[in-house]
Amino acid sequence: MPERTPIAEVKARLERAKSVTVLTGAGISADSGVATFRGADGLWRNFRAEDLATPEAFARDPRLVWEWYNWRRELIATKRPNPAHHALVEMEKRGRRFWLITQNVDGLHRAAGSEQLSEIHGNIWRVRCTRCGQISENRQVPIPILPSCSVCQGLLRPHIVWFGESLAQRDLEQSYAALESCEVMLIIGTSGVVYPAASFAPVAKQAGAFVAEVNLDPTPNSDLMDVSIRGRASETVPLLL
């Protein structure tokens, strides 16, 4: 009997699985034309993303930080979910336990129709009041700078987890619960080396899950995988259905 291809192996595992957990990163959004906003793509007016996405930068110059986020929002507003986003929505609908963990803040998973998900780094289309703490959706493009809270007129900030900030406890609890109970874990478009995401594959494997990655290039975690599939998320993930 010929050996199964990696795609056939993952597809067979998914068909049998009663619970599936998925982790996505910048690679799935890149196929929709969303820049990473880090490294070469992150340079804006000679500022690096790492210099602007911090509480200290916002405290020092909230107008500058909001101008950068407005630029990002204007770019992301023109992008649409791709076939990989839609394939994950289809996986969610197949009547089993399913949870999607995304590191992306662009909101494309929600736009595609995903409902069972944790946006562990936040969502660029949500804002949080720095005075009263209220979180709300805001899709104004361009957004008025500086935006103020409709409840208390306090200064709004992007509802994003910035460098140096902790992830929301509820998101972490939901994510680890899904990882510890899944039979199959898919890691799509991310190297998975930044914590806490770096711990996700080991947690799932320790719990007995079959773990597979879909990525254009090998990652530092490729040796930990049961299966590694090389390719674009938008082309490869639909083949797993």
- Catalytically active residues are 121
**Two structure tokens written together for 200:** 């996700």
Question: In the block, which residue shows the tokens 């995401």?
Answer: 197
Length in residues, the chain: 241
Please give the structure tokens belonging to residue 1: 């009997």
User: Quick check: helix, strand or coil at residue 17?
Assistant: coil
Which helix or strand (DSSP H or E) is residue 9 part of? helix 6-16
Long-range contacts of 89-94, Cβ-Cβ distance < 8 Å, separation of 24 or more: 89/113, 89/114, 90/241, 91/14, 91/20, 91/22, 91/241, 92/116
CA distance 132 to 103: 26
Cα gap 7→23, rounded to integer Å? 17
Contact 149, 132 (CB under 8 A): yes
